Amino acid sequence: MPAVESVLVVGAGAAGCATAILLASAGVTVDLIDSRPTVGAVGSGITLQGNALRVLRTLGVWEDLQPRGYAFDGLGIRAPGPQAALLGEVTDNRTGGPDLPATFGTYRPVLARILVERAAAAGARIRYGTALTGVDQDATAVTAHFADGTSGVYDLVVGADGLHSTTRSAVGIDLPTTDVGMDIWRFVAPRPPSVTRTELIFGGPLFIAGFCPTGDDSLYGFLVERPQNRGDLPPAEALELVRSLAEPYHGPWDDIVASSPVNFTRFQVHLLPPPWNRGRVVLIGDATHVCPPTVAQGAAQSLEDAAVLAELLTTRHTVDDDLWTAFTERRYERVKTVVDVSMQMCHWLLEGVRGDVPGLHARVFQAVSHPA
């Protein structure tokens, strides 16, 4: 018998949906809530590394997702300048195993919908427009309070509610989030034939100019700049801006014409030291760890959190300190490597240091190549 019979999962992002799918499939009664009015995600692309695909395959969604993105191996690093000379290539990075691609680009709303549909099919009861506002707990149960004035009693609450997690503050954890000092513009565009993998240009007028193919006809691009307080530009001006920011870049960039939607975000970082639970409330995903997406591992780590948590909850018989210690022993150092490497890349960029970027990627690949 699993360690829990009823679980509330707060947040229907990658971490929450994955947890709901795995627990509901094991016979646990799962309520999955999200404060959004309906299923959704930022209208941008996402880069899923092999270790993320491994979890997605376990969830039973890889078959659905595979035809709706672009799989590729390797990563190219180019120089700024008119020739966009190829400086380096990262290969041998099939972190999900030899039978999964190294990397897969897709559109976030596609991934969000596939995950939620799978959670529903697995038996999770999904309620959108439902925000967690607080929790009370004793040694045996948690009472969760919702914004509509209702409440529910569960064996466990999983806070997968992202960067500004209410679950986290509800259990009294004050986790400061720091601005890194970089802003990112993301956009979608038709994929020209010259774009067949992720390529990054470090330096030039921006910190990073990069792209990732997301389908036969699509890609997403990202441009990372010094903060200039222009995140609230109207959509047409934002599109004009990203086109002008991309203009000094060449090579495949010559063929890329940015289109809407254009999305703006700041790079931020936080990492919660163990333990990730307070009693019968546990945090996973961005609620515990956020870092700049310089090695594109945030969603991968969130999915891995869910996989490890669900495995422990369904193979053990009690929720106790041993379970929580085992959880963070399997998660913390791995996540910390990703956060440290992602931040190292930002420090080099902020200080104008030309560091060993392929070496950093190799460190992450080594850390995440074995199942979490």
Ligand X SMILES: Cc1cc2nc3c(=O)[nH]c(=O)nc-3n(C[C@H](O)[C@H](O)[C@H](O)COP(=O)(O)OP(=O)(O)OC[C@H]3O[C@@H](n4cnc5c(N)ncnc54)[C@H](O)[C@@H]3O)c2cc1C
- Tell me if residue 332 falls in helix, strand or coil: helix
Binders of ligand X among residues 259 to 288 (CB under 6 A) are: 265, 285-286
- Name which of 316 and 340 has its Cβ closer to ligand X: 340
State the binding string over 49-88 for ligand X (x if CB under 6 A, else -): ---x------------------------------------
The token duo for 143 is 């009472």
Note whether 357 and 75 are within 8 A (CB).
no
Q: Which one of the spans 116-124, 193-201, 231-239, 298-306 is the region binding ligand X (CB under 6 A)?
A: 298-306
**What's the CA gap between 173 and 274, in Å, rounded?**
12
Binders of ligand X among residues 151 to 170 (CB under 6 A) are: 160-162, 166
Binding residue (CB under 6 A) for ligand X from 21, 32, 156, 184: 184
**Residue 217: CB minimum distance to ligand X, A:** 19
Binding residue (CB under 6 A) for ligand X from 26, 87, 131, 362: 131
What b/e string do you get for 51-62 counting C-beta neighbours within 10 Å, with b at 16 or more? bbbbbbbbbebb
**At 261, phi and psi to the nearest 5?**
-80, 145
The runs of H, that is alpha helices, within 207-356 are 235-246, 298-315, 321-351
**Residue 71: CB minimum distance to ligand X, A:** 15
**What's the CA gap between 85 and 266, in Å, rounded?**
29
Does 251 engage in binding with ligand X (CB under 6 A)? Answer: no
Characterize the bridge pairing of strands 125-128 and 29-34: parallel
Binders of ligand X among residues 87 to 126 (CB under 6 A) are: none
Does 46 engage in binding with ligand X (CB under 6 A)? Answer: yes
**At 253, phi and psi to the nearest 5?**
-60, -25
> What amino acid occupies position 195?
V
- Name which of 79 and 131 has its Cβ closer to ligand X: 131
- Name which of 291 and 323 has its Cβ closer to ligand X: 291
Binding site for ligand X (CB under 6 A): 10-16, 33-36, 46-47, 52, 131-132, 160-162, 166, 184, 265, 285-286, 293, 296-300, 302
